[in-house]
Amino acid sequence: MQIVTSPSELRALRREWKGTVGFVPTMGALHKGHLTLIQKSKAQNEKSIVSIFVNPTQFGENEDFAHYPRKPEADANICQKAGVDILFMPKAEDIYFEEDEVLLKAPQKSGFVLEGAARPGHFDGVLRVVLKLLHLTSPTRAYFGQKDTQQLLLIQKMARELFLPYEIVPCPTERDNDGLALSSRNAYLSEAEKKEALKISASLKEATKHIMTGELQSSQIKERALKVLEGVEVEYFEIVDRNLMPLERIIKGETIILVTARVGKVRLLDNLWI
Protein backbone atom coordinates (compact mmCIF):
# COMPACT_ATOMS: atom_id res chain seq x y z
CA MET A 1 0.00 0.00 0.00
CA GLN A 2 1.25 3.46 -0.84
CA ILE A 3 0.46 6.37 1.43
CA VAL A 4 0.11 9.55 -0.60
CA THR A 5 -0.45 13.09 0.60
CA SER A 6 -0.07 15.20 -2.52
CA PRO A 7 -2.78 15.43 -5.20
CA SER A 8 -0.20 15.49 -8.01
CA GLU A 9 1.44 12.28 -6.78
CA LEU A 10 -1.97 10.65 -6.48
CA ARG A 11 -2.84 11.63 -10.05
CA ALA A 12 0.50 10.36 -11.39
CA LEU A 13 -0.01 6.96 -9.72
CA ARG A 14 -3.65 6.80 -10.80
CA ARG A 15 -2.75 7.46 -14.43
CA GLU A 16 -0.64 4.29 -14.49
CA TRP A 17 -3.67 2.09 -13.75
CA LYS A 18 -5.62 0.73 -16.68
CA GLY A 19 -8.37 -1.35 -15.03
CA THR A 20 -11.28 -0.65 -12.68
CA VAL A 21 -10.72 1.51 -9.60
CA GLY A 22 -12.85 1.73 -6.46
CA PHE A 23 -12.75 4.76 -4.16
CA VAL A 24 -13.86 5.03 -0.53
CA PRO A 25 -13.77 8.58 0.88
CA THR A 26 -13.72 8.78 4.69
CA MET A 27 -12.86 11.10 7.56
CA GLY A 28 -10.86 8.35 9.28
CA ALA A 29 -11.13 6.80 12.77
CA LEU A 30 -12.03 3.76 10.72
CA HIS A 31 -14.46 1.15 12.02
CA LYS A 32 -16.20 -1.93 10.63
CA GLY A 33 -18.70 0.23 8.75
CA HIS A 34 -15.89 1.81 6.72
CA LEU A 35 -14.38 -1.64 6.28
CA THR A 36 -17.50 -3.00 4.57
CA LEU A 37 -17.20 -0.19 2.00
CA ILE A 38 -13.52 -1.01 1.47
CA GLN A 39 -14.29 -4.72 1.10
CA LYS A 40 -16.99 -3.98 -1.46
CA SER A 41 -14.57 -1.81 -3.39
CA LYS A 42 -11.94 -4.59 -3.28
CA ALA A 43 -14.47 -7.17 -4.49
CA GLN A 44 -15.74 -5.05 -7.39
CA ASN A 45 -12.55 -3.39 -8.66
CA GLU A 46 -8.97 -4.25 -9.57
CA LYS A 47 -7.55 -1.41 -7.47
CA SER A 48 -8.86 0.47 -4.45
CA ILE A 49 -8.15 3.92 -3.07
CA VAL A 50 -9.21 5.09 0.40
CA SER A 51 -8.99 8.73 1.42
CA ILE A 52 -8.84 10.05 4.96
CA PHE A 53 -9.57 13.75 5.20
CA VAL A 54 -11.37 15.58 7.99
CA ASN A 55 -12.89 18.20 5.74
CA PRO A 56 -12.97 21.63 7.42
CA THR A 57 -15.58 23.13 5.07
CA GLN A 58 -18.33 20.75 6.17
CA PHE A 59 -18.07 21.64 9.88
CA GLY A 60 -19.96 24.59 11.35
CA GLU A 61 -18.29 27.03 13.72
CA ASN A 62 -19.53 25.37 16.90
CA GLU A 63 -19.02 21.80 15.72
CA ASP A 64 -16.39 19.23 16.59
CA PHE A 65 -13.81 19.79 13.80
CA ALA A 66 -10.92 20.33 16.22
CA HIS A 67 -11.90 17.34 18.34
CA TYR A 68 -13.01 14.95 15.62
CA PRO A 69 -11.22 11.62 16.34
CA ARG A 70 -7.99 11.27 14.38
CA LYS A 71 -6.11 7.93 14.32
CA PRO A 72 -3.80 7.98 11.29
CA GLU A 73 -1.54 5.07 12.34
CA ALA A 74 -4.36 2.69 13.28
CA ASP A 75 -6.24 3.68 10.10
CA ALA A 76 -3.20 3.00 7.92
CA ASN A 77 -2.87 -0.45 9.51
CA ILE A 78 -6.52 -1.24 8.84
CA CYS A 79 -6.19 -0.16 5.20
CA GLN A 80 -2.96 -2.11 4.74
CA LYS A 81 -4.55 -5.29 6.13
CA ALA A 82 -7.66 -4.78 3.99
CA GLY A 83 -5.48 -4.71 0.85
CA VAL A 84 -5.99 -1.06 -0.09
CA ASP A 85 -3.64 0.02 -2.90
CA ILE A 86 -3.44 3.75 -2.17
CA LEU A 87 -4.25 5.56 1.05
CA PHE A 88 -4.68 9.25 0.30
CA MET A 89 -4.21 11.46 3.38
CA PRO A 90 -4.00 15.07 2.24
CA LYS A 91 -3.78 18.16 4.43
CA ALA A 92 -6.37 20.93 4.10
CA GLU A 93 -3.91 23.07 2.14
CA ASP A 94 -3.45 20.23 -0.38
CA ILE A 95 -7.18 20.21 -1.13
CA TYR A 96 -8.09 23.90 -0.79
CA PHE A 97 -6.24 26.71 -2.52
CA GLU A 98 -5.53 29.95 -0.72
CA GLU A 99 -8.23 31.64 -2.73
CA ASP A 100 -10.49 28.67 -3.29
CA GLU A 101 -13.50 30.50 -4.62
CA VAL A 102 -15.46 28.20 -6.90
CA LEU A 103 -18.21 27.05 -4.59
CA LEU A 104 -20.77 24.33 -4.94
CA LYS A 105 -24.20 24.99 -3.50
CA ALA A 106 -26.23 22.13 -2.09
CA PRO A 107 -29.74 22.03 -3.60
CA GLN A 108 -32.09 24.63 -2.07
CA LYS A 109 -34.75 22.09 -1.09
CA SER A 110 -33.10 18.77 -0.33
CA GLY A 111 -29.83 20.31 0.90
CA PHE A 112 -31.36 22.51 3.57
CA VAL A 113 -33.86 20.20 5.30
CA LEU A 114 -33.08 17.64 8.04
CA GLU A 115 -29.26 17.54 8.46
CA GLY A 116 -29.00 20.58 6.19
CA ALA A 117 -31.37 22.55 8.45
CA ALA A 118 -29.52 21.51 11.61
CA ARG A 119 -26.14 22.18 9.99
CA PRO A 120 -26.55 25.02 7.46
CA GLY A 121 -23.80 24.92 4.82
CA HIS A 122 -22.77 21.38 5.79
CA PHE A 123 -23.73 19.88 2.43
CA ASP A 124 -22.09 22.73 0.48
CA GLY A 125 -18.84 21.58 2.09
CA VAL A 126 -19.57 17.89 1.59
CA LEU A 127 -20.36 18.23 -2.12
CA ARG A 128 -17.35 20.50 -2.65
CA VAL A 129 -14.87 18.06 -1.13
CA VAL A 130 -16.46 14.97 -2.66
CA LEU A 131 -16.30 16.49 -6.14
CA LYS A 132 -12.63 17.39 -5.64
CA LEU A 133 -11.81 13.91 -4.33
CA LEU A 134 -13.74 12.18 -7.12
CA HIS A 135 -11.87 14.14 -9.77
CA LEU A 136 -8.52 13.47 -8.09
CA THR A 137 -9.09 9.71 -7.84
CA SER A 138 -11.15 9.33 -11.04
CA PRO A 139 -12.69 6.05 -9.87
CA THR A 140 -14.83 3.59 -11.78
CA ARG A 141 -17.00 3.34 -8.65
CA ALA A 142 -17.19 5.32 -5.40
CA TYR A 143 -18.72 3.90 -2.23
CA PHE A 144 -20.97 5.76 0.23
CA GLY A 145 -22.89 4.54 3.27
CA GLN A 146 -26.67 4.67 3.66
CA LYS A 147 -25.86 5.57 7.26
CA ASP A 148 -25.50 9.13 5.92
CA THR A 149 -28.62 8.97 3.80
CA GLN A 150 -29.00 12.62 2.92
CA GLN A 151 -25.32 12.84 2.00
CA LEU A 152 -25.65 9.78 -0.25
CA LEU A 153 -28.78 11.10 -1.98
CA LEU A 154 -27.22 14.53 -2.58
CA ILE A 155 -24.04 12.98 -3.97
CA GLN A 156 -26.12 10.81 -6.31
CA LYS A 157 -27.99 13.95 -7.39
CA MET A 158 -24.73 15.82 -7.99
CA ALA A 159 -23.34 12.89 -10.02
CA ARG A 160 -26.47 12.82 -12.19
CA GLU A 161 -26.79 16.57 -12.72
CA LEU A 162 -23.10 17.23 -13.36
CA PHE A 163 -22.77 14.13 -15.59
CA LEU A 164 -19.96 12.73 -13.45
CA PRO A 165 -18.51 9.60 -15.05
CA TYR A 166 -18.24 7.77 -11.71
CA GLU A 167 -20.72 5.18 -10.44
CA ILE A 168 -21.99 6.01 -6.94
CA VAL A 169 -22.51 2.77 -5.01
CA PRO A 170 -24.74 2.85 -1.89
CA CYS A 171 -23.74 0.53 0.97
CA PRO A 172 -25.96 -0.71 3.85
CA THR A 173 -25.40 0.45 7.44
CA GLU A 174 -23.15 -1.72 9.58
CA ARG A 175 -24.22 -2.08 13.22
CA ASP A 176 -22.75 -3.46 16.42
CA ASN A 177 -24.29 -6.58 18.00
CA ASP A 178 -26.81 -4.48 19.94
CA GLY A 179 -28.02 -2.62 16.85
CA LEU A 180 -26.17 0.68 17.32
CA ALA A 181 -25.14 2.05 13.91
CA LEU A 182 -21.33 2.21 13.82
CA SER A 183 -19.91 5.73 13.73
CA SER A 184 -16.55 7.32 14.46
CA ARG A 185 -18.39 9.56 16.93
CA ASN A 186 -19.46 6.51 19.02
CA ALA A 187 -15.98 6.76 20.51
CA TYR A 188 -17.20 9.81 22.48
CA LEU A 189 -19.93 7.78 24.25
CA SER A 190 -19.59 6.51 27.82
CA GLU A 191 -20.95 3.01 28.60
CA ALA A 192 -24.14 4.52 30.06
CA GLU A 193 -24.57 6.77 27.02
CA LYS A 194 -24.08 3.81 24.70
CA LYS A 195 -27.03 2.09 26.38
CA GLU A 196 -29.10 5.22 25.96
CA ALA A 197 -28.04 5.44 22.30
CA LEU A 198 -29.54 1.98 21.67
CA LYS A 199 -32.97 3.61 21.87
CA ILE A 200 -32.25 5.14 18.45
CA SER A 201 -32.06 1.85 16.52
CA ALA A 202 -34.78 0.44 18.81
CA SER A 203 -37.11 3.25 17.69
CA LEU A 204 -36.56 2.23 14.06
CA LYS A 205 -37.25 -1.41 14.98
CA GLU A 206 -40.46 -0.31 16.67
CA ALA A 207 -41.45 1.59 13.51
CA THR A 208 -40.77 -1.53 11.40
CA LYS A 209 -42.84 -3.68 13.74
CA HIS A 210 -45.72 -1.25 13.49
CA ILE A 211 -45.51 -1.06 9.69
CA MET A 212 -45.50 -4.89 9.51
CA THR A 213 -48.86 -4.94 11.29
CA GLY A 214 -50.27 -2.81 8.46
CA GLU A 215 -50.01 0.70 9.95
CA LEU A 216 -48.97 3.08 7.18
CA GLN A 217 -49.88 6.46 8.69
CA SER A 218 -46.62 8.36 9.31
CA SER A 219 -47.96 10.28 12.33
CA GLN A 220 -48.97 7.03 14.07
CA ILE A 221 -45.64 5.40 13.39
CA LYS A 222 -43.77 8.49 14.60
CA GLU A 223 -45.80 8.60 17.81
CA ARG A 224 -44.93 4.97 18.61
CA ALA A 225 -41.26 5.44 17.79
CA LEU A 226 -40.95 8.60 19.89
CA LYS A 227 -42.17 6.64 22.93
CA VAL A 228 -39.15 4.36 22.56
CA LEU A 229 -36.96 7.45 22.36
CA GLU A 230 -38.23 8.91 25.63
CA GLY A 231 -35.36 10.36 27.67
CA VAL A 232 -33.25 10.97 24.56
CA GLU A 233 -32.96 14.46 23.08
CA VAL A 234 -34.45 13.88 19.61
CA GLU A 235 -33.50 16.49 17.01
CA TYR A 236 -35.75 15.06 14.36
CA PHE A 237 -37.63 11.90 13.51
CA GLU A 238 -38.94 12.23 9.97
CA ILE A 239 -40.58 9.98 7.43
CA VAL A 240 -39.66 11.09 3.92
CA ASP A 241 -39.53 9.93 0.31
CA ARG A 242 -36.36 9.37 -1.75
CA ASN A 243 -36.26 13.14 -2.45
CA LEU A 244 -36.31 13.80 1.32
CA MET A 245 -39.80 15.32 1.18
CA PRO A 246 -42.23 14.43 4.02
CA LEU A 247 -44.62 11.53 3.46
CA GLU A 248 -47.98 11.31 5.20
CA ARG A 249 -48.19 7.61 4.50
CA ILE A 250 -45.53 4.97 4.08
CA ILE A 251 -45.06 3.85 0.48
CA LYS A 252 -43.07 0.63 0.40
CA GLY A 253 -39.96 0.96 -1.75
CA GLU A 254 -40.04 4.77 -1.55
CA THR A 255 -39.78 5.60 2.14
CA ILE A 256 -36.90 6.49 4.43
CA ILE A 257 -37.26 7.04 8.16
CA LEU A 258 -34.55 9.33 9.51
CA VAL A 259 -33.72 9.92 13.14
CA THR A 260 -31.11 12.19 14.71
CA ALA A 261 -30.70 12.48 18.45
CA ARG A 262 -28.23 13.81 20.95
CA VAL A 263 -26.89 11.52 23.64
CA GLY A 264 -24.68 13.47 26.00
CA LYS A 265 -22.73 15.76 23.70
CA VAL A 266 -22.84 13.36 20.76
CA ARG A 267 -25.13 13.76 17.75
CA LEU A 268 -26.09 10.36 16.39
CA LEU A 269 -27.82 9.56 13.10
CA ASP A 270 -29.68 6.48 12.02
CA ASN A 271 -32.20 5.59 9.38
CA LEU A 272 -34.26 2.87 7.84
CA TRP A 273 -35.04 2.40 4.14
CA ILE A 274 -38.42 0.80 3.54
Of 50 and 247, nearer to ligand AMP (C-beta) is 50
For ligand AMP, which residue of 75, 85, 124, 174 counts as binding (CB under 6 A)?
174
Which residues touch 236 (CB under 8 Å, ≥6 apart)? Answer: 114, 118, 258, 259, 260
How is the beta sheet containing 255-263 ordered, strand by strand?
A: 233-241, 255-263, 266-273
The residue count for binding ligand AMP (CB under 6 A) is 17
Q: How far is the CB of 153 from ligand AMP (least distance, A)?
A: 11
205: phi then psi, degrees, rounded to nearest 5: -65, -40
Member of 53, 112, 123, 144 binding ligand AMP (CB under 6 A)? 144
| Smaller CB separation from ligand AMP, 250 or 256 | 256
- Coil, strand or helix: which one is 20? coil
Please state, in angstroms and rounded to a whole number, the distance separating the CA atoms of residues 23 and 38.
Answer: 8
Task: Among 173, 186, 203, 260, indicate the residue that binds ligand AMP (CB under 6 A).
Answer: 173
CB of 43 to ligand AMP, least distance (A): 15
* Distance from C-alpha of 99 to C-alpha of 53, rounded to nearest angstrom: 20
Region from 14-22, 143-151, 194-202, 254-262 binding ligand AMP, contact rule CB under 6 A: 143-151
| Residue pair 102/246 in contact by the 8 Å Cβ criterion | no
- Candidates 2-10, 14-22, 62-70, 139-147 — which segment interacts with ligand AMP by CB under 6 A? 139-147
Helix (H, G, I), strand (E, B) or coil at 190: coil
Q: Which residues contact 93 (CB under 8 A, 6 or more apart)?
A: none
* Catalytic-residue membership of 34: yes
Which residues between 66 and 85 bind ligand AMP (CB under 6 A)?
none
Interface ranges with ligand AMP (CB under 6 A) = 26-27, 33-34, 36-37, 144-145, 147-148, 171, 173-174, 181-184
Residues assigned a catalytic role: 34
